[in-house]
Structure 1
Amino acid sequence: MHTNRRDFLAGTAATAALIATPIRAAEAAPLSRLFDDLVQAQLHRNPEGATQLGLDTGANAGLRAKLSDQSAAAIAASKAETRAELAKLEGIDRRALSAAEAIDLDCVLYTRRSAVAVQAFDFGGASYGPSPYVVSQLSGAYQSVPDFLDTKHKIESKGDADAYLQRIQAFGRQIDDQTERMRHDAAAGIVPPDFILDLAIEQMGKTAVPAADALVVQSITRRAAAKGLGDEYGRQAAALYTAGVLPALERQLAYSRALRGKATHDAGVWKLPQGAAFYPVALKATTTASMSPEEVHRFGLDQAKALSARLDLELRKQGFTGGSVGERMAALYKNPDQLYPNTDAGKVQAIAYCNARLDAIRHKLPDVFERVPPYSFEVRRVPAQTEAGAAAAFSQSPAIDGSRPGLVYFNLKDSGDWPRFCLATTVYHEGLPGHQLEGGLALSNKELPLIRKINGFSGYGEGWALYAEQLADEIGMYDDDPLGRLGYLKFMLFRANRCVVDTGLHHFRWTREQAIQRFVEQEGETPGFAAREVERYSVNPGQACSYKLGHSVFADIRQRAKAKQGSRFDLKAYHSAVLRHGRVPLDVLRQIGNQWVAQL
């Protein structure tokens, strides 16, 4: 079902001359034209993505008034289009390509092969990756569209406001289409776990409110008035919401409550028809690593053992000697000196601290990177209406033209989940020098075709972000913050345990409670934080393994270069080598690393 590793690597043979040739020769016209066509098709399938990237302008200005079509007919058409795109990509004559163009082709091929493998399963949708459930606490128009319209859809003119109203109309249709997809999947035995439906129902209830309280209405009312467009847009938005969106939300809420009666408490996809086949496909699609669930589980156990020993040593240095590593970390979590008040004012303080850490590391980046992205970045709090089910922290890329900053979000539903010593390393992961640096460099890389800038790979992106946490320690960000170093090591251990827990849930049939207990006992996680993580993995099988698997590839390339060069090792050159080609699957990253090390 999924791409065979040997066949894939054979397809990347053109990378062998990577270091010996220029970064990019004159683009092969057929490949360039095909990439342009693929980008246009992708943007039209996903107008929300076009807006987020700032690409809903010019010939694509019409996309600003649209949301993606989630109907059964559109899903079938998208699958057919993906298969056709794959056939065109496989028809490209590789002999005419430079080494860099061959990497571009291999990366885009990987996305379409992976999509075809996932789409072979006629159920589910996507949030952080392939999901067996179209609507969950992390996915579904009910929770994504209000935030998207409020934070991504700009209102600078009458045309922008008119487009916003059209998107409100599309919002209701999208909800109904997803409800029908839920019915389709349930008929095939695809029902989310009871605890997932409970979270989704809670969030839907907060979204299904009268127009005066609805974010999508409040947002345009406030912003249109601020631009001198008057009150009429707010009234029109309220009427459209009341007529179309609220009834659709109420229908989805009613169906979700009815579906709850059919749900079981089993967390893993093993319980689903085709679940045992789906998990390895989802694992490969998200990690881009060619490892079996058993291999990933063993890797996680080995990494967790080594990292627990490192954390134990650092704890002892700080005078924490009594009890297991998990017990000592749990005690540190309860240290009042490390806790922000669980109030709106306390949460403002936490976000201010995070932005200060982002500013502090920003000034050190030129010391270790040859190029830094030209964008601005900031940290924000997850909106209160979605924090019950949202991930603990996540990142959103800036607009390509810099008109919107790169954003890092923290879920502060309970401030106790985020003691101060845990915040800094997450800022470095989600912000700088993590996702926002890596993604910003890709978006501003003039050597990459657009299709490479707007597509990513979780194994690469999350692996780099975890490496960024390590780099922050190495450049002195914890020299005056020893408890922050404990947070860094704790989160490194957390990513190793993710490999154990994800495969445990979906392959070894662990329960939700068993998975939560692993985090609590091993790392001292708060039960609430651990529960939200496990609930995330339950709807996004495989993705949680991306972090440590990707980190291991970046770390291995660097270690081999240092072993070969010794004191001549150049950290800036290493960073350029692994970042210069943008986001790539881990198998391609290994080839890039092998060639770079061989030429040292």
Structure 2
Amino acid sequence: FARLGIAGATTGARFSALWRDPRQAYASPDAALADMNRWLVELRARVPAVVGAVPRWCLNVAANPPTAADRAAAHFGYRTLPTPTQPGGYVPDLQRLADRPAFTLPSVVAHELLPGHMVQMPLEAAADPHPLRLDYAPGFAEGWAIYIERRVADAGVYAADPLAELGYLHWRLFRIGRALVDLAIHLHGLSLAEARARIVAWQGEPAYFAPFDADLARVAQEPMTRATEMLFALAIEDGARGRSGIALARYHHVLLDHGRMRSDELARRARRV
């Protein structure tokens, strides 16, 4: 922030200032979609180095515009998983472009497309894990995508683009912040008003799909769900620590080849790699 000349009393205030920078505004949904696909080309090329070898069909994805039926039904923000015979894609919600500044979208591409959900979810579908495993580890898929956002940043993808790195950090603050208030609300009785004040100070602006008040109401109704997602990401990060090259790729394949797993099983498999 200091290098970019963005001031503010809190981290959140600085993010809010950047949010209002007209240079970060897209002229149209088509421009935002083109930017996402430009980043996707970069990230697709990075998959072998960031994750390891994956089936080529997992890479056959794109950020796609909504169809006429999507627009009529206001159906946005959904994925179609690739298969060996069909391409996949993600249709982003770009209805409120003012809430989608350009610096926030590179990490969305990493999370929703490659190497995030579009690597983990298609491989899981192909593995066809037992339904109980899906029920017992619902936070794993989100944890993988959160972990991948960090892996992409740590791999230096944003080294020459501090704005994109700030976008990643805003998403990271969002995930950590909602986990912390989830814990504080349900373990320590933190009020929703106090939780909101903390989150505003941390991240300034809400994530596109999670307005502050609506998201906090959901956190209150779904104890430990948001904390679990972040804890899965941290568990995956713990297992990856100290690994690189072939060792890191082997670790990723242990996590991905058989579908989601509970964090205790994740730790056991990590020790065996």
| Bucket of the pairwise TM-score, normalised by the shorter protein | 0.7 to 0.9
Are the structure 2 counterparts of residues 374 and 425 from structure 1 closer, same or farther at C-alpha, using a change threshold of 3 Å?
same
C-alpha separation between the residues in 1 aligned to 2:206 and 2:49?
Answer: 36
Q: Which residue of the partner structure matches residue 6 of structure 2?
A: 320
- Whether contact under 8 Å (2:133, 2:261) holds in the other structure is no
State the secondary structure of the residue aligned to 1:316: coil
Deviation at 1:450, TM superposition (A): 5.5
Give the alignment of 1:117-196 within 5 angstroms: none
Are the structure 2 counterparts of residues 394 and 519 from structure 1 closer, same or farther at C-alpha, using a change threshold of 3 Å?
farther
In the alignment, is residue 337 of structure 1 matched against residue 20 of structure 2?
no
C-alpha separation between the residues in 2 aligned to 1:568 and 1:427?
Answer: 23
Q: Which residue of the partner structure matches residue 293 of structure 1?
A: none
- Whether contact under 8 Å (1:497, 1:519) holds in the other structure is yes
Give the alignment of 1:431-580 within 5 angstroms: 431-444=113-126, 448-449=127-128, 451=130, 455=134, 457-506=137-186, 508-526=188-206, 529-538=211-220, 540-559=222-241, 561-562=242-243, 570-580=247-257
- Whether contact under 8 Å (1:425, 1:484) holds in the other structure is yes
Q: Which residue of the partner structure matches residue 272 of structure 2?
A: 595
Aligned residues with identical type, % of pairs: 28
Q: TM-score w.r.t. structure 2 length? A: 0.81
Q: In the TM superposition, what whole-angstrom CA distance separates every residue of 1:511-538 from its partner, at most 9, and x where no partner exists?
A: 5544433322211114983344335435
Runs of 5+ consecutive residues of structure 2 not aligned to the other structure? none
Deviation at 1:539, TM superposition (A): 5.0
User: Which one-letter code corresponds to 2:5 in the other structure?
Assistant: G
User: Which one-letter code corresponds to 1:547 in the other structure?
Assistant: E
Flag the structure with larger Rg: 1
CA root-mean-square deviation: 3.2
State the secondary structure of the residue aligned to 2:62: strand
C-alpha separation between the residues in 1 aligned to 2:193 and 2:78?
Answer: 28
Are the structure 2 counterparts of residues 328 and 568 from structure 1 closer, same or farther at C-alpha, using a change threshold of 3 Å?
closer
In the alignment, is residue 352 of structure 1 matched against residue 38 of structure 2?
no
Deviation at 1:568, TM superposition (A): 7.7
Q: TM-score w.r.t. structure 1 length? A: 0.40
C-alpha separation between the residues in 2 aligned to 1:511 and 1:490?
Answer: 23
User: Which one-letter code corresponds to 2:19 in the other structure?
Assistant: Y
In the alignment, is residue 377 of structure 1 matched against residue 54 of structure 2?
no
C-alpha separation between the residues in 2 aligned to 1:529 and 1:386?
Answer: 21
Structure with the larger RCO, 1 or 2 (CA within 8 Å, 6+ apart): 2
- Whether contact under 8 Å (2:175, 2:230) holds in the other structure is yes
C-alpha separation between the residues in 1 aligned to 2:205 and 2:115?
Answer: 25
Q: Which residue of the partner structure matches residue 586 of structure 1?
A: 263
Are the structure 2 counterparts of residues 506 and 486 from structure 1 closer, same or farther at C-alpha, using a change threshold of 3 Å?
same
Give the alignment of 1:254-403 within 5 angstroms: 315-341=1-27, 346-368=28-50, 369-372=52-55, 374-375=57-58, 376-380=60-64, 383=70, 396-398=79-81, 400=83, 402-403=85-86
Q: In the TM superposition, what whole-angstrom CA distance separates every residue of 1:548-575 from its partner, at most 9, and x where no partner exists?
A: 201111111111x44xxxx887332332
C-alpha separation between the residues in 1 aligned to 2:194 and 2:131?
Answer: 39
Deviation at 1:329, TM superposition (A): 1.0
C-alpha separation between the residues in 2 aligned to 1:462 and 1:412?
Answer: 21
Are the structure 2 counterparts of residues 589 and 489 from structure 1 closer, same or farther at C-alpha, using a change threshold of 3 Å?
same
Give the total of aligned pairs: 265
